[in-house]
């Protein structure tokens, strides 16, 4: 937390920076409204696809960058989980870790949308799948199978290696 505080500065042009990245502090209600709007405008399935795509797009190159510094995928994920916590994004932890399946638990993920009725953190699923894919190779896909906003006790993401179809019938 101290490192984050030390990296923050406001320049003379009114831009807020965290190190060399321009940031904006956003309220939870603002992001929740954006996500609610996506669901209203596109419908549930298309909104979920969009959120997943957004997460993948946002993390392009992150896995390749982090693996240069950290030795293993597990270390990379733990570092990212710590950054997520420090930035106010919630708490993530690994529940299961194997060569083909990684299960991640999330609590208090951003944003909270009480009683929304469906998963809304598909961007986390896409983000994680992209990072894992860049480090492990092959194709991976992520799913949010539990979500606090729809009444589950916590969010749960299952990131699986895609199985190649052998073409046999």
Q: What are the pLDDT digits (tens) for 56-88?
A: 999 999 999 999 999 999 999 999 999 999 989
The pLDDT of residue 166 is 62
What is d(CA 154, CA 105) in angstroms, rounded to the nearest whole number? 7
* pTM check: above 0.95: no
Provide the pLDDT confidence category of residue 164 given band limits of 50, 70 and 90.
Answer: confident
- Quickly list DSSP for 65-133: HHTTTSSSHHHHHHHHHHHHHHTTS-EEEEEEE-SSEEEEEEESPSSP-TT--S---HHHHHHHHHHHH
Per-residue pLDDT for 168 more than 80?
Answer: no
Q: Do residues 32 and 112 make contact, with C-beta atoms less than 8 angstroms apart?
A: yes
The pLDDT of residue 156 is 99
Domains of the chain: 28-161 (3.30.1380.20)
The pLDDT of residue 59 is 97
DSSP secondary-structure letter at 165? P
What is d(CA 140, CA 122) in angstroms, rounded to the nearest whole number? 14
Which H/E stretch holds residue 52? helix 44-58
Provide the pLDDT confidence category of residue 167 given band limits of 50, 70 and 90.
Answer: low
What would the pLDDT profile of 4-56 be if each residue is shown by its tens digit? 888 999 999 999 999 999 989 899 999 999 999 999 999 999 999 999 999 99
């Amino acid at each position: 937390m101290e490192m984050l505080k030390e990296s923050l500065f406001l320049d003379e042009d009114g831009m807020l920076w965290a190190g060399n990245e321009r940031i904006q502090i956003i309220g939870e209600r603002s992001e929740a409204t954006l996500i609610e709007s996506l669901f209203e405008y596109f419908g549930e399935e298309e909104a979920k696809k969009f959120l997943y795509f957004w997460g993948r797009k946002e993390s392009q190159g992150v896995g390749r960058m982090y693996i240069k510094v950290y030795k293993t995928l597990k270390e990379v994920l733990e570092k990212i989980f710590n950054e997520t916590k420090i930035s106010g994004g919630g708490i993530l932890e690994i529940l299961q870790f194997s060569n083909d399946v990684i299960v991640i638990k999330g609590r208090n993920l951003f944003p909270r949308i009480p009683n929304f009725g469906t998963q809304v953190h598909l961007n986390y699923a896409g983000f994680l799948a992209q990072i894992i894919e860049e480090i492990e190779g092959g194709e991976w896909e992520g799913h949010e199978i539990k979500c606090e906003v729809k009444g589950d006790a916590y969010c749960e993401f299952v990131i699986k290696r895609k199985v190649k179809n052998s073409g046999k019938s």
